[in-house]
Structure 1
């Protein structure tokens, strides 16, 4: 009999007021990359009515290289990706209200379709799959489903998945369509069916990672050769890759059977692979721990046993180090500058001058510092160069050409442009040219530069690899008149979707560094998650990711990715190539070196090409017992490895031990 009274007493208690809410529109914002979008917000009271007098601000919470938002809510998209935005509402006497939305920045409408490695001649009964790539006008990859059609289905049929079947002798035109974007491909089906088919490997015995190419011999029933046909390829067992041209690379030792199929005929060949067996021991020859600041770039004097080492985290200085005794590197001097970090260092080819970057000066006088090296152990500043570079300089590259003299190629953090500085009068530099990609400032970022044979290889973050003629002549370019040669742009969002899944949207990812070697350009991506592991701290809270791609530039006008390397843990940062070895600073993964001899295809790590690994973490550094390897410079068989947390390491790759002989017992 007391229950009704208890319920009644509860109903008479005052209810807590409903909190005000923040309404955002659009609720699920989407903007085409390189366009703008207006976000709007208002505060609603408990009854859903607008509240006046609220101060509302919009703040970017990630994706800083891909876009930005003004305090009033105008989103400026510079690239595809996701821009997290935090909205803050403040009212007098009321708690602050915050909300977060994620602005999806998507590719524009389909503008082009390319068909990768599509053969133009088929034989009756042959089936192939066409692989289309759909891009927007800005070159961003789209995931559209392509509509296929054939001009003559009695000759060549194609289904909704792009599976093509040759049905009769003759010609047909295949069409791929996405909205207004159209691509066509002419196909000829040749007369006669395959009588015999044979394939011949370029080698029957090889090592893991070697590329074996197969020659195809196809004849009709009368024994006449049928030229220009492209078979379908497969192999078993094991792991590896084979492309449409019949280039096979196996990842594991063992026996492989490679099969070519043309129409109803197939042919097999056997190849045997032995392990690559390139692993070697390493020795740490010398150490110079740093405890006051993080360590940035390292550079070696071209003719003297001297290293130059930059600092970060407010270090404001560049150290000079005597490395005559490799076991006991000694600091001999330093240059102190208002910069917070000395991010990059390089000398002139003759070793008479040095340039280093300023990226975080408190007075915004960033740019570069130039020093004379009359006494290389004691550099003396002779000039600053800050014209147009208040946003900071991340990287520089010094390059001399007989015709044009010496120039400094540097990155502009503020505009994403490359500045080419005439350095023929070293202490009186002047601008020769400024160039940048045609992209909104919000998404343009140039991170690193390599110049070889008059070609500049630019690591252009969202724009991938851009190659400029700065004196090579292939496009009539010069240091004062750089000209575009080609570009390799790829889908960073898709490549690192697992990083977004682990740490949320708005993560850091982009083309970070490039190095030309023979017919390849090695490009490495810098990738970090948007948020640390929940509940973790120190080394367990976060890590780097990233992939190194091998870009084939044997035709520099048509760069293409043919191989890659990705450490099992950590990331990739700066690289150095000497001979047939690539040396890498791999962030949390430490220092690594791997074999890049021969032709490169597929997954380089799976092929057992890794030669040396040294984890550059110890208890004597700025951050104890954790690796954050920045990069490496190699000379005379020694690797000078700079670790952000631990200073300088001098590492030697030792000769591979001789195999032990097995005693034969009579």
Structure 2
């Protein structure tokens, strides 16, 4: 599973990260052992002190740490982060992706708290080499408006983001164009629509004829829907004789009458990709229009009533250190167990017997050479388990493979560190292979058929990206990679030319999220949805900025952590043409690990607790707005590592219940109570 903390890889002078500072701030508790044995950082110096660069380029960059006497500390742990998908710092380089004025921040652990250095970064675009107009589909008949966009390309083939051209019409009386590229046909005739930017010009010629549409026939069967239910918008344009006009442009809109005008929200519904969904209950009138011809359909949206009570059933309390990930499994002895990792816990992994989730019992612990066991996993057949190592004393990290023949008391079968010395933050296990992320740079595929003699098979590294999480389904590895988004690779599916020995890139979906990922195949619709989670360990600049917990994070006591970010939902049914369709967004908290099973999302939402969400049917819009939340539990514990500070790291369904780990209080189990039946008079 995927418990998110700062990823590490060492350079000769410093340690760089290509993910935002929000994720990577240094925590003195975690660095306490280092501070005690090495010189303490008092000052940071960046070279260059101000970065000026063009998008698509990279420049040498380093940060040097000095102690109070002005001496260089060559092995200091320094992290540098900047805005996602704008700039990235790694391998002694700074890379730029998007123009703008930014501030990167370098941090290191000082004597009493983090030492920080702000680094101005100015990124400009390279010169354009080409412009091209793309129009929305459909024929430009009179009375029709058609959207257009301009794509700009640089000499190296990269695309210009955020291009704002100047639009012109050669015959405004025939067709007008607004500053957004929307062309409206006014009368029959010929017109040239042009767009200009930075000395380049491109154009498109239209011959406009009279609109033949005289009627619209709607094909929407629904009359009553639930909030969040997706309605496909189907209509056929016809001539006066009843013949279909196949190239007619049909636009959709709606009007809304709320159930209660005193609590009427903004943005009650969404129209996108030829579909409609209602966020809130009420009466919606769908309007289809083609020129001056309209048609309408009234829908009633009722509340989605999915709320259920959640009840805690058991605890595996951990209050002496912070807790990271969990993974449950059924042992060879027929009993159920859960492997749990620790964060900054001196390399202890723990085993709990969870057969009776009303009485969770710790059976053993495993000590390995690591500062943090960020991720743990178990093979589907329960044959082996794995502990991921970060912060090993000799800086040789890798993974520790466990023999689970005696599941209550696992024994170490082997260690594997080939190509994994940068620290392993996340993993994914199949019965025969283990996928392990190496220092945020790549994932390494390991043959574990013989767990006592694991073997290197292959690896995949995506350029200019920092991988944080991956999940493999049907021979496709889906990974969340900072700087690029969701990366899909054929690792044995075969349809896209890849094998486990020779992984092959399928596609990349650019999205401002590179932290958690979970691919889910939804049986009812035949769709594959990717759930991609942000992790932002910083709320600076928001209305509620949260608490300044960094000075005590990783040490017992302290104050509650705060977080930001949310879950993006991408339809990746066709990996070659994925598209974002929705989100699960709560403003005051931050998303972490994600599992979906039987159309229910089990979401670790950090200080927002564990959240159970209905994701049935086609998905569109913000699930939180649509009242799809089934249950929420925030694990307050006065005796926790940090008292009464919920911070849920991971949540998984297990045999009708919910298992989750809390950073400050350990392992919990809970169950969803049956939904109360309505009482009829």
**TM-score greater than 0.5 by the shorter chain:** yes
> Is the contact made by 1:170 and 1:189 (CA closer than 8 Å) also made in structure 2?
yes
| Structure-2 separation of matches of 1:114 and 1:656 | 55
CA RMSD of aligned residues (A): 3.7
Give 1:319 deviation, angstroms: 0.6
Give 1:275 deviation, angstroms: 0.3
| Structure-1 separation of matches of 2:229 and 2:54 | 43
Q: Secondary structure at the match of 1:448?
A: strand
> Is the contact made by 1:56 and 1:87 (CA closer than 8 Å) also made in structure 2?
no
Q: Match of 2:378?
A: 347
> Is the contact made by 1:459 and 1:514 (CA closer than 8 Å) also made in structure 2?
no
**Alignment of 1:510 onto 2:514:** yes
Q: Secondary structure at the match of 2:180?
A: coil
Q: Alpha carbons of 1:471 and 1:231: their partners in 2 closer, same or farther (altered >3 Å)?
A: same
| Structure-1 separation of matches of 2:164 and 2:83 | 31
Give 1:223 deviation, angstroms: 3.2
**Alignment of 1:35 onto 2:71:** no
| Structure-2 separation of matches of 1:545 and 1:105 | 26
> Is the contact made by 1:450 and 1:516 (CA closer than 8 Å) also made in structure 2?
no
Higher mean Cα deviation, 261-270 or 59-68?
Answer: 59-68
> Is the contact made by 1:397 and 1:409 (CA closer than 8 Å) also made in structure 2?
yes
Matches within 5 A, 1:363-378: 363-378=394-409
Deviations 1:458-506 (A, max 9, x none): 111211000001111121101111111111112x3xxxxxxxxxxxxxx
Q: Alpha carbons of 1:396 and 1:220: their partners in 2 closer, same or farther (altered >3 Å)?
A: same
Deviations 1:320-370 (A, max 9, x none): 111122112111111101111111122222211111210221211201011
Q: Secondary structure at the match of 1:394?
A: strand
Matches within 5 A, 1:108-507: 118-130=136-148, 142-148=161-167, 157-168=176-187, 178-179=197-198, 191-237=210-256, 239-303=267-331, 304-400=335-431, 406-413=432-439, 416-439=441-464, 444-490=465-511, 492=512
Give 1:434 deviation, angstroms: 1.7
Work out which of the residue numbers 646, 651, 665 in structure 2 matches 1:627: 646
Higher mean Cα deviation, 160-169 or 350-359?
Answer: 160-169
| Structure-2 separation of matches of 1:330 and 1:631 | 19
Q: Match of 1:526?
A: 535
Q: Alpha carbons of 1:40 and 1:373: their partners in 2 closer, same or farther (altered >3 Å)?
A: closer
Give 1:123 deviation, angstroms: 2.7
Q: Match of 1:77?
A: 95
Q: Alpha carbons of 1:246 and 1:277: their partners in 2 closer, same or farther (altered >3 Å)?
A: same
With normalisation by structure 1, the TM-score equals 0.80
> Is the contact made by 2:470 and 2:516 (CA closer than 8 Å) also made in structure 1?
no
Q: Match of 2:20?
A: none
Higher mean Cα deviation, 173-182 or 630-639?
Answer: 173-182
Deviations 1:279-324 (A, max 9, x none): 1111111112211111111001245311111111133111111112
Q: Match of 1:641?
A: 660
| Structure-1 separation of matches of 2:129 and 2:572 | 25
Computing the radius of gyration from Cα coordinates, the structure with the larger value is 1
Q: Match of 2:3?
A: none
| Structure-2 separation of matches of 1:598 and 1:197 | 28
| Structure-2 separation of matches of 1:331 and 1:292 | 15
RCO comparison, higher one (Cα < 8 Å, 6+): 2
Deviations 1:637-661 (A, max 9, x none): 1111111111111011111111233
| Structure-2 separation of matches of 1:644 and 1:111 | 51
> Is the contact made by 1:461 and 1:512 (CA closer than 8 Å) also made in structure 2?
no
> Is the contact made by 1:253 and 1:275 (CA closer than 8 Å) also made in structure 2?
yes
Structure 1 gaps, min length 5: 1-21, 42-53, 89-97, 401-405, 493-508
Q: Alpha carbons of 1:280 and 1:332: their partners in 2 closer, same or farther (altered >3 Å)?
A: same
Give 1:410 deviation, angstroms: 1.5
Give 1:381 deviation, angstroms: 0.4
| Structure-1 separation of matches of 2:240 and 2:486 | 49
With normalisation by structure 2, the TM-score equals 0.78
Q: Secondary structure at the match of 2:466?
A: coil
Q: Secondary structure at the match of 1:527?
A: coil
Aligned length: 591
| Structure-2 separation of matches of 1:383 and 1:235 | 62
Q: Match of 2:589?
A: 570
Give 1:160 deviation, angstroms: 2.7
Q: Secondary structure at the match of 2:234?
A: strand
